[in-house]
A and B are shown apart, each in its own frame.
Chain A
Amino acid sequence: MSEEQETPQENKPIDLSKGQQSEPAPFQPLGNGPVTPPPFQQPPPFGQFGGGGFGQQNLPNATAALVLGIIAIPACCFYGIFGLVFGVIAWILGAGDMKKYQLNPGLYTESSYKNAKAGKICGMIATILSALFIVIFILIIAGAITNPQMFDNFIKGMK
């Protein structure tokens, strides 16, 4: 009886081992799978607006040039010299990005090139405007310093 009892115990582990052997079998198709790694070669364009960009980037300073160029106008109105500073910075950033685009037109998006161009032109206009006002200020200040009496009469005349 004891032999009979032992034999089933021996058989059971064999069955388990068979079951374990049967489990690796489903892995084999997965092992055969590695023939399909090409998905790694898919480069999806991340965050592109138009969807037509093939790995194209935005120009680095286009947005900054545009925003600075527009801020330059109120700045030129408030304190004169800030408009000149912002306008010149926008002009330089815009012109630099335009050069970058012209060296590698395929690398950057066209919309950012247009933004850089607009930023450059806005910067130019703001620079010219604030330079004009600074010249007027300097003339008024020079006049007030050299001829204080004339300046007082001028102000009284305007009142």
Chain B
Amino acid sequence: MARPHKTFLEWLGEHLFSCPFKTHFGIDCPGCGLQRSVLALFKGDLSASFKFYPATIPLIFLVLFTLIHLKLDFKFGAQLIKIVFAGVAVIILINYIYKIYTHQLI
């Protein structure tokens, strides 16, 4: 009862870390949107999460899969982690270039 679910998410939404790069220069850094995206994911809004930051869902999958892999030691685990990791890096890079070209940095 101390932390009802909805109010906790709302409180979290008002207390996100502010990006130091954006506060100083007014331009998004490559990670801007990740916290809003994770918050949208907690609320169950997959499309909003993807719009804020497309790499969130694969990133969370990657972290969870790595934890499971370190516990259970899959044969294909290391290979899959490498592929997903490279995919996440490419998504982040493409997302930032797309933001630059479509003037969404501010």
- Please indicate whether A and B come from the same complex rather than being unrelated chains: yes
Query: Counting CB contacts under 8 A, is A46 at the interface?
Result: no
Q: C-beta contact mask, B63-88 vs A, less than 8 Å → 1, else 0?
A: 10010001001010111011001101
Please measure, in the bound complex, the distance between the C-alpha atom of A80 and the C-alpha atom of B103, giving whole angstroms. Answer: 21
Within 8 A of B (CB), among A95-131: 111, 114-115, 117-118, 121-122, 125-126, 129
Q: Which of A77, A115, A137 contacts B34 (CB under 8 A)?
A: A77
Check A121/B82 contact, CB under 8 A, given A67-B66, A80-B29.
Answer: yes
Interchain CB contact under 8 A, A77 and B29: yes
CB of A78 within 8 Å of the partner chain? yes
Partner of B25, one of A77, A122, A141: A141
Chain A nearest CB, measured from B84 CB (Å) = 10
Q: State whether B31 touches A70 (Cβ < 8 A).
A: no
Determine if A79 and B105 form an interchain contact, defined as CB atoms under 8 angstroms apart.
Answer: no
Looking across the interface, which residue of chain B has its beta carbon closest to that of A66? B66
Q: Which of A111, A114, A158 sits near B105, CB closer than 8 Å?
A: A158
Q: Would you call B92 an interface residue if the criterion is a C-beta within 8 Å of the partner chain's C-beta atoms?
A: yes
Q: How distant is the Cα of A149 from the Cα of B85 in the complex, in angstroms?
A: 40
With an 8 A cutoff between CB atoms, is B20 at the interface? yes
The closest CB in chain B to the CB of A123 belongs to: B85
Q: Is A89 an interface residue (CB 8 A)?
A: no
**Could you say which of B27, B70, B78 has the most chain A C-beta atoms within 10 Å of its C-beta?**
B78
Q: A18 contacts which chain B residues (CB < 8 A)?
A: none
**How many residues from B make CB contacts under 8 Å with A?**
33
Tell me whether A59 is interfacial, beta carbon within 8 Å: no
| Closest Cβ–Cβ distance, residue B86 to chain A (whole Å) | 6
Distance in Å from the Cβ of B31 to the closest Cβ of chain A?
2
Q: Residue of B at shortest CB range from A112?
A: B73
B92 contacts A129, CB within 8 Å? yes
Cβ of A33 to closest chain B Cβ, rounded Å: 41
Residues of A close to B12: CB separation below 8 A: none
Q: Given the complex of chains A and B, what is the CA–CA distance between A64 and B85 in angstroms?
A: 16
List 30 contacting pairs A-B, 8 Å CB cutoff, sorted by A: A67-B66, A67-B70, A70-B63, A74-B31, A74-B59, A76-B30, A77-B92, A78-B17, A79-B20, A80-B21, A80-B29, A111-B75, A114-B77, A114-B79, A115-B70, A115-B78, A117-B78, A118-B82, A121-B85, A122-B81, A122-B82, A125-B86, A129-B92, A133-B29, A133-B30, A140-B25, A140-B27, A155-B26, A155-B27, A155-B106
